[in-house]
Amino acid sequence: MTAYLAGRLVSLVASLLVASIVIFLVLEVLPGDPAQFILGMNAQPDTLAALRTQLGLDSPPLTRYLDWVLGMLRGDFGISYTYRVPVAELVGQRIGVSVPLAIYALALTVLLAFPAGILAAVKRNTPTDVAVMGVTQIGVAIPNFWFAMILVLIFAVTLRWFSAGGFPGWDEGFWMGMRALTLPAIALALPQASILARVMRSSLLDTLGEDYIRSARAKGLTERQALWRHALRNALIPVLTIIGLQFAFLLAGGIIIENVFFLPGLGRLIFQGITQRDLIVVKSVVMLLVCAVIVVNFLVEVSYVIVDPRLRRR
């Protein structure tokens, strides 16, 4: 187990290193002159020179890369070119929207997917099963940003139950914040819940076919008891893996939904950074999100292996 963990840790660090190199190359080396990229074609020569110095462009790329990575390890993400404040400060403000949104969406995903998946598996090959699977098939096919627009049209524009966008801040109270995040969370949750319900169904069908379920039935448990005591618990292992991966996805996947609802989260920060050509913000925030996704994936994989030791050899 220790050897396995050590191996996974080495590849985690390697992934993070390669990720940082790729992001650095894409954002700092490929566009040619980053200062020119940020300021555009009509920049004054002296402004350009000043920005080059601020960005440290006079030093070779390797030095700049090391400065960036070592700085991030210390919590120094650089100073935003457009906002003129430390990027770490911007991230601090916006993480309070993105992370709660991801958790909210994940909770809705589980609440929708578990009953749907279990129902479809228990009533397999009945009209109920076909209906649930049909709905999930459509749920997978709906782009979440379009679903978001439809939700706005129905619940914000027509019924006026929710506002069409924006975020009042948590200072306005917990419920006001949750209310602003509700439509975005539903929009994010629908496709994910559809995927999860399908996984739940097929995983449960697999375990329901196992010998130990037959034994449980033979020793006198009803079908319902066998389901709740034995099948469900074993079926949860692959389901939990998918949930972990979905959380990683939702963290980075809120990026478009945040734009639909004008939520001041990390995704919107990246977009604003891109449109304002603020490479310093984009570079560090993208790295932060990629890092979060890779670490969550790593934790999921490790916990999966702890639960099921057969998987240690791949």
Partner 1 sequence: MSQADILAPTEEKGLWRSALRSPSFVVGALLTVVIILAALVSFVWTPYDFAAQNIPNKLKAPSGANWFGTDQYGRDVFSMILVGARTSIAVALIAVGVGVGIGVPLGLTAAATRGSLLDEVIMRGNDLVFAFPALLIAILITAVFGPGAVNAIIAIGIFNIPVFARLSRGAALSLWQREFIMAAQVAGKGRLRVSVEHILPNIANTLIVQITIQFALGILAEAALAYVGLGAQPPTPSWGKMLADSQTMISLAPHLALAPGLAIVATVLGLNLMGDGLRDVLDPRLRRSRQ
Contact positions with partner 1 (CB under 8 A) in 166-205: 202, 205
Q: Is 26 in the site for partner 1 (CB under 8 A)?
A: yes
Q: Which range touches partner 1 (CB under 8 A), out of 46-54, 81-89, 181-189, 290-298?
A: 290-298
Q: Is 39 in the site for partner 1 (CB under 8 A)?
A: no
Q: Which range touches partner 1 (CB under 8 A), out of 13-21, 62-70, 75-83, 87-95?
A: 13-21
Question: Given the complex with partner 1, which of 232 and 287 has the nearer CB atom?
Answer: 287
What DSSP assignment string belongs to the chain?
Answer: -HHHHHHHHHHHHHHHHHHHHHHHIIIIITTS-HHHHHH-TT--HHHHHHHHHHHTTTS-HHHHHHHHHHHHHTT---B-TTT-SBHHHHHHHHHHHHHHHHHHHHHHHHHHHHHHHHHHHHTTTSHHHHHHHHHHHHHHHS-HHHHHHHHIIIIIIIS-SS-SS----GGG-HHHHHHHHHHHHHHHHHHHHHHHHHHHHHHHHHHHTSHHHHHHHHTT--HHHHIIIIIHHHHHHHHHHHHHHHHHHHHHHHHHHHHHTT--SHHHHHHHHHHTT-HHHHHHHHHHHHHHHHHHHHHHHHHHHHH-GGGG--
Question: Given the complex with partner 1, which of 31 and 96 has the nearer CB atom?
Answer: 31
Q: Is 299 in the site for partner 1 (CB under 8 A)?
A: no
State the minimum distance, in angstroms, from the CB of residue 136 to partner 1.
Answer: 10
**Residues of this chain that bind partner 1 (CB under 8 A):** 11, 14-15, 18-19, 23, 26-27, 30-31, 124-125, 137-138, 140-143, 145-146, 149-150, 152-153, 157, 202, 205-206, 248-249, 251-253, 255-256, 259-260, 270-271, 274, 282, 286, 289-290, 293-294, 297
